[in-house]
Structure 1
Amino acid sequence: MRFFNALTEWKEARYQKKLADMQAQNKCPDCRGNGYSPLMVHEFSYTNLYDCHGCNGSGLFADWARANPHL
């Protein structure tokens, strides 16, 4: 049980570090500031680009934080 707790704590600390890094760079953590998220429909088809659902396509951390107030 301690192993799973340690793993969960490590994963949460890693996620919090990612959020802090993205906030310092003013980039959306979901799309890494690109404003879109690539979506592979099928492995043999082309990649479609869609606006990021986290920041609504702006790529900014402030817009992501406004859309995700619970985090």
Structure 2
Amino acid sequence: MGIFNHFFDMIAANREKKLEKMRDQGICPECRGKGYHAPIGNAYVYMPSFDYRCYSCNGTGSFNDWENQTHSPT
């Protein structure tokens, strides 16, 4: 069990490091500040333009909007 705990602690530490880096840069961790998700599609897949928007930051790419959206009480 110790190796599993170490593995999950390592994953949590990497996530915290990523969030701290994104907080310093002021960009959304989900879309990396772009405001949209670039889909992997092909000629046979139709995706309307509203599906590209990052719903975590409402398409702004801002860390503050991401934090307010994901950590707000429902």
Shorter-normalised TM range: 0.7 to 0.9
Count of equivalent residues: 67
Counterpart residue number, 1:30 = 30
Runs of 5+ consecutive residues of structure 1 not aligned to the other structure: none
Question: Looking at CA atoms only, which structure, 1 or 2, has the larger radius of gyration?
Answer: 2
**TM norm structure 2:** 0.81
Report % sequence identity.
Answer: 37
Greater strand percent: which structure? Answer: 1
User: What is the distance in 2 between the residues matched to 1:35 and 1:27?
Assistant: 9
RMSD: 1.9
Runs of 4+ with >2 A deviation: 46-49
Highest relative contact order (Cα 8 Å, sep 6+), 1 or 2?
2
Q: Give the structure with the higher percent helix.
A: 2
State the TM-score, normalizing by the size of structure 1: 0.84
Which residue of structure 1 aligns with residue 4 of structure 2? 4
Superposed CA deviations along residues 8-48 of structure 1, whole A, max 9, x for unmatched, are 0000000000000000000000001000012224xxx1586
